[in-house]
Amino acid sequence: MKKQLGVLLLGCILAIGSFTAVQAADAPTSIKADVIEYNTKTGITTAKGNVVISQQDGQATAAAAEYNTKNKTGKLTGGVVATKDDARITCDTLVLHDENHTTAIGNAAMKKQDKTLRAAQVEYYKDRNFMETVGSWGELSMDDGSVLTAGYINYDGRVGYATAENNVQIASDARNLTASADKATYDTNNQGTIELTGNATANQNGNTISGNQLRIINENNTSEASGNVKMVYIPKEKPAANNG
């Protein structure tokens, strides 16, 4: 029973971060805790105190864990940390609704490769490889220092696109860029194209462009705007002439 709990529980948890299928069900699994109990009538297994669930290259830790073997639902609580390969999840509570739907609650952060999605609550749907924030704020950051914040953010891992709305703010030190809008679509792939809609403004290298719609192509540092366009361009200073 311990092995069954570990395979199902760890598989659901780590699927969030890895965005891939979990390891085979016969992979070696170990569960450690101060107390582990199983109720044969309800099908509920509980682990309390210093819970560590390990399977091959993945591990989940928490203060307590509960799993229902009959309906395949579960919960980890208390300083939850789950890692697998280049993926990492941290939160206060992790709820397993079914094999495809998982909720991270309380200081939730889901990281995969160079991208991290943070919010008070994050929903993940494995079958669609889709994440979305719940609450009044969300943040998508990248290892190069680029940060997107908004009232709501979702991320589609199948195509690498993030969609944000409500007070969208973008800052990228690597590109010396800041931008804001009512809504945004961010292609996080190599081109890094950003589509801004509604009160859109971008500032790069001291130059500002604004309009109802704004498209920024980070690959070649170009911007396109439409609708009540306004541009403020600061020319580069020419070097002083040498009269000597």
- Calpha distance 235→94 (Å, rounded): 52
Is the same domain home to 22 and 52? yes
Is the same domain home to 112 and 166? no
Residue 243: inside a domain, yes or no? Answer: no
* Domain of 211, in residue numbers: 132-238
- Calpha distance 168→164 (Å, rounded): 7
Question: Which CATH number belongs to the domain containing residue 211 in this structure?
Answer: 2.60.450.10
232: Cβ contacts below 8 Å, ≥ 6 apart: 207, 208, 209
Of 96, 128, 160, the one marking the end of a domain is 128
b vs e for 43-53, b when ≥16 Cβ sit within 10 Å of the residue's Cβ?
ebbbbbeebeb
Residue-level pLDDT, tens digit, the chain, 244 residues: 444 443 334 433 333 333 323 334 455 667 789 999 988 888 888 999 999 988 777 888 999 999 887 888 889 999 999 888 778 899 999 998 987 888 999 999 998 888 899 999 999 888 888 999 999 999 999 888 889 999 999 999 888 899 999 999 999 887 788 999 999 998 887 667 889 999 999 888 888 888 888 888 766 555 554 445 443 444 455 555 555 5
> Do 209 and 227 form a contact (C-beta atoms < 8 A)?
no
